[in-house]
A and B are shown apart, each in its own frame.
Chain A
Amino acid sequence: MIQAILKRLLGAVPALIGVIIVTFILTRALPGDPAAYFAGASGSQEAIEEVRVKLGLDRSLPEQFFFYVRDLARGDWGSSLTTGQPVLTEIGERLPASLELTLVGLILAVVVAIPLGVLAATRPGSWVDHLCRGITTAGVSLPTFFTGLLLAYIFYFLLGWAPSPLGRLDPYTSAPDFVTGFYLIDSLIARDLETFRAAAAQLVLPAVTLALFVLAPLARMTRASMLGVLSADFVRTARASGLHPLTVLFTYAFRNALLPVLTTLGMVFSFLLGSNVLVEKVFAWPGIGSFAIEALVASDYAPVQGFVLAMALLYVLLNLMIDIAYGLVDPRARLQA
């Protein structure tokens, strides 16, 4: 088992190398002369040359790549021009906000999409099936930033059910003591239900917005995979053995149907991390997405590159976790890894 996990860890190495090479290329593809850029608008010729040497831009590309990797490994991801802080620190501070939002969105989507897909597959042609088809087609057509605004308008402005869509907490509540950085968890650790409620209230709309977008591919895949498995020979065997219909449905059909859904989860995470940026902007959510957008607007490149790298590393990590989960569910993958 541990060996299988190790093998999977090794399997993530090519993706990791690819990601680092691409981010390196992106840092060297800056328009114009990066040295002139980093020296600032008023930089003299000497200053530019100084920066060039400091950044190692006077060396060959392989050498530059080596220094780039070394700096990354040391935690030197450059500094933000606007805040003056190291990029890694900035990202580290904002990451929990993004992760909390993304995870809650994902959990919401999974909790709705999987039962919906299973129900639709067990009752083909029923209203649940039609609902599922409708949601999956409409869901992938939703521009996340627009659904977010629409939800904010309806639930904040018209109905007044949701708090003002700005940030993780309303201005009257202070953040819980830092433990995990997840306000929902930290407030519970501090036994501060008031803060928990406030954080949850702020979280609902952005999380629902995210969930609405990724619900579609999940429900679609669950339905398709469940339909396939339900007509499989081994489900027929289980039925012929007189097993309880629920045993057939869950122990036999659903666990097998989960495998393609797990695979789809990789694509879902890609969507999720991408739309996370948009949702953060709509709800002024202080995560790494908003950070990157602010830096983009200010033409502050180091944070943007750090953001791309961080997201890619996160994505590689998530894919690795999917891979390991797959191995746990499927003995074939476990033993043949």
Chain B
Amino acid sequence: MASSTPALVSRPEPPPGPGLLLRQWRVLRYVVGENPLSAMAAGLFVGFVLLALFGPWLAPFDPLASHVGEPLSPPSAAHWFGTDALGRDILSRVIVATRLDLGIAVAAVALSFVIGGLMGAFAGYFGGWFDRASTRISDTIMAFPLFVLAMGIVAAMGNTVANIVLATAIINLPFYLRVARAEVRVLREAGFVEAARLAGNGEMRVLFHHLIPNIMPPMMVQISLNMGWAILNAAGLSFIGLGVRPPEAEWGIMVAEGAQYIVSGEWWIALFPGLVLMLAVFCFNLLGDSLRDLIDPRRRT
């Protein structure tokens, strides 16, 4: 696997628009081709994206409608995943929940990627007080057990989905900040950056046109490794009753709703949303590992 790594490693000047897309497509194809597990993960990923986009049309029943089947009936031909205490179709609820779960994770990761990435890039490039301040902020966040901090943030700011996104973004911020800062600090000294500066480019232009595009590969790895964790985190928060409110369909809350029935043997209520949640996280973690192996073979473990 290590023998042929594509151009990403050598950090070439990024080609504009379509070239980058093409390269990313090649990277994806490479990941898929190398390892059957990665291929499986990529397949799952596509599946989850489709579910998130078209879930409401794919669900056989209305996810919120009660008594579409006999309450608490086990999986059957009509209800593949069975029904819950209110007689709602679990399959439909699991499918429809995909959009909310992935949505929360994607929004949170995007927020911390943009804010953390920019902060880290500025801190790494300019140093000085901004560097010290942002390092202090990320160290302070990291001084908390992260899930607990997220609980505290949601409790303080209000129990809404938006605050779940915000809390998840805040606890992920240090990871992006650190990666971006470290990468920029290394690249700042690289020859092509010096050349760009000598060619008369302003500091901002150097940073945005020459440095930031080149820290994208490790940032992408960070994103893919982080997605699974963000999903787990958001689901965990709703499991303890934060953010998403019933009757909304969400995997964490569905597991929580099924929890009380598991000791009396109605396993399907919690099992299916839990399994799908696990599968989603597993899929992102596998993709993240493959991407990391691809971009940075040395760090493979």
Contacts and interface: CB of A to CB of B under 8 A. Distances in A.
B285 A156 contact: no
Interface string B237-274: 00111100000000010011011001111010011001
A208 B236 CA distance: 18
A275 interface: yes
Interface in B186-244: 228-229, 232, 235-236, 239-242
Interface in A285-317: 292-293, 296-297, 301, 304-305, 307-308, 311-312, 315-316
A144 B301 contact: no
A164 B89 CA distance: 29
A312 B144 contact: yes
Interface in A1-55: 14-16, 18-19, 21-23, 26-27, 29-31
Contacts of B33: none
Interface SS of chain A: helix, strand, loop or mixed? helix
A308 B143 contact: no
A146 B151 contact: no
B255 A274 contact: no
Contacts of A18: 136, 139-140, 143
Interface of A: 14-16, 18-19, 21-23, 26-27, 29-31, 137-138, 140-146, 149-150, 152-153, 156-157, 164-165, 220-221, 223-224, 227, 269-275, 277-278, 281-282, 292-293, 296-297, 301, 304-305, 307-308, 311-312, 315-316, 319
B70 interface: no
B291 to A, nearest CB: 14
B156 A277 contact: no
Contacts of A15: 139-140, 143
A137 B151 contact: no
B152 A26 contact: yes
Interface of B: 136, 139-140, 142-149, 151-153, 155-159, 228-229, 232, 235-236, 239-242, 252, 255-256, 258-259, 262-265, 267, 270-271, 274-275, 277-278, 281-282, 285-286, 289, 301
A138 B41 CA distance: 13
Contacts of A26: 152-153, 155-156
B278 A146 contact: yes
A230 B240 CA distance: 44
Contacts of A144: 236
11 contacts: A18-B143, A141-B232, A146-B255, A149-B270, A152-B262, A157-B262, A274-B146, A281-B240, A304-B152, A304-B155, A311-B145
A143 B274 contact: yes
Contacts of B156: 26-27, 29-30, 301, 305
B1 to A, nearest CB: 13
Given A19-B140, A29-B157, A281-B240, 17 more contacts: A22-B140, A137-B282, A138-B282, A140-B285, A143-B255, A146-B274, A146-B275, A146-B278, A149-B255, A149-B270, A152-B262, A273-B148, A282-B259, A293-B240, A296-B159, A308-B155, A312-B145
A315 B143 contact: yes
Contacts of A271: 145, 147
Q: Which 6 A-B pairs have the closest CB atoms?
A: A274-B147, A18-B140, A146-B274, A308-B152, A224-B301, A273-B145
Interface SS of chain B: helix, strand, loop or mixed? helix
A152 B236 contact: no
A275 B255 contact: no
Contacts of A30: 156
B78 to A, nearest CB: 24
Contact of A150 (B142, B271, B281): B271
B145 A150 contact: no
B265 A281 contact: no
Given A296-B155, A296-B242, A14 B148 contact: no
Contact of A143 (B159, B235, B286, B289): B235
Contacts of A311: 144-145, 148
Contacts of B155: 26, 296, 301, 304-305, 308
A143 B236 CA distance: 8
Contacts of B228: 140-141
Contacts of A227: 301
Nearest to A280: B240
Contact of B143 (A142, A150, A292, A316): A316
A19 B144 contact: yes
A56 to B, nearest CB: 18
B282 to A, nearest CB: 4
A277 B241 contact: no
Nearest to A32: B158
A316 B270 CA distance: 35
Nearest to A154: B267
B240 A269 contact: no
Given A26-B153, A140-B228, A277 B148 contact: yes
Nearest to A272: B145
A283 to B, nearest CB: 10
Contacts of A165: 263
A222 to B, nearest CB: 10
Given A141-B285, A143-B274, A277-B148, A21 B140 contact: yes
A307 B240 CA distance: 15
Nearest to B155: A304
A320 to B, nearest CB: 11
Nearest to A293: B240
B148 A308 contact: yes
Contacts of B144: 19, 22, 270, 308, 311-312, 315
B245 to A, nearest CB: 12
